Amino acid sequence: VQLVESGGGVVQFGGSVRLSCVVSGFTFDHYVMAWFRQTPGKEREGVSYIKGSDGTTYYTDSVKGRFTISRDNAKNTLYLQMNNLKPEDTAVYFCAAMIEVPVSNLMRTANYDYWGRGTQVTVSS
């Protein structure tokens, strides 16, 4: 199993970036895919998820209206379009995969089976 993120970098306040996560080794459309982020000394935070079955999405409040999660099941790829970036969005962003079963909290890190290594996004002010 592999999840490989790309697209991070340094971007100016108010700018945009698109993250990608290419996966292999499991049946992509059977999994909920999510983006998490983490800054030094803090717990990993759930940003957004998208279900494989029906495309249902969720966003944490701080990114609503600015970030868009999507997936291309034919390409086994997850995306996160990040617009109007703020310095507080600076973090390492991780993609993660969870087999799609009923759970109470789809943004709980412990529910996720597979993780990428992360890509750094730095928003300069």
Which residues in the chain come in under a pLDDT of 50? Answer: none
Q: What is the pLDDT of residue 104?
A: 86
Q: What is the pLDDT of residue 6?
A: 97
Residue 102: other Cβ atoms inside 10 A: 5
Which of 39, 38, 53, 23 is CA-nearest to residue 113? 23
With beta carbons less than 8 A apart as the criterion, state whether 46 and 60 touch: yes
Question: Looking at residue 73, what is its pLDDT?
Answer: 95
What residues have CB less than 8 Å from 102, skipping those under 6 apart?
none
What is the SS3 assignment for 76?
Answer: coil
Using DSSP, state whether 110 is helix, strand or coil: helix
